[in-house]
Amino acid sequence: MLLLAAALLVSGQRADGVPIDRRELAGYRLTTPDFEQFRNASARIAIVIAGDASFRAEPLFSEEITQSADVTEASAALEARLRSHAGLSEALTAAKMSPRDYTKCALTLVAARLALGFLDSGALKAVPRGPAADNVAFVREHRTAVDQTLTDLAIEIR
């Protein structure tokens, strides 16, 4: 998890199939409208996950995704899963969110939430100014909603 957080703080799959470069992901800033759209999509995805036993054996946010040392591979794996599972794809379509945008928001939220936890515990002294610091500040401000959304998706942040 620490490697993923570090990679995301400094870094996926573009709509045309080209992987998101680290700069694009590192430049992504969480906003209230994007987060609300993500929450809507996540609520729909949580229903799909709860109703599909295959997710108990292979969670959407698997260790391959949440503990990957390579953020490009993690984002490509998540986006591919969102595109290939009919229920997940339908949930995103209903929420008017692309798999790519959902992936960027999800990975950024996880990284920022992890960084906030590291800051709070003293394990991390500071986050670089810019998008990373802005995202951690966003998560701090919306911590309850972020934590609830991640819990609904079975993402454990300790």
**DSSP code per residue over the chain:** -HHHHHHHHH----TTSPPPPHHHHHT----HHHHHHHHHHHHHHHHHHHH-THHHHS-TT-HHHHT-S-HHHHHHHHHHHHHHSHHHHHHHHHTT--HHHHHHHHHHHHHHHHHHHHHHHTS-----TTHHHHHHHHHHHTHHHHHHHHHHTT----
Predicted structure pTM score: 0.85
Q: For the chain, what are the domain ranges?
A: 2-13+30-152
Q: How many residues are present in the chain?
A: 158
Which tens digit of pLDDT belongs to each residue from 84-129? 999 999 999 999 999 999 999 999 999 999 999 999 999 989 888 9
Which tens digit of pLDDT belongs to each residue from 4-25? 444 444 333 344 567 666 788 8
The reported pLDDT for the residue numbered 91 is 97
Which tens digit of pLDDT belongs to each residue from 33-92? 999 999 999 999 999 999 999 998 899 988 777 777 788 888 888 999 999 999 999 999
The reported pLDDT for the residue numbered 103 is 92
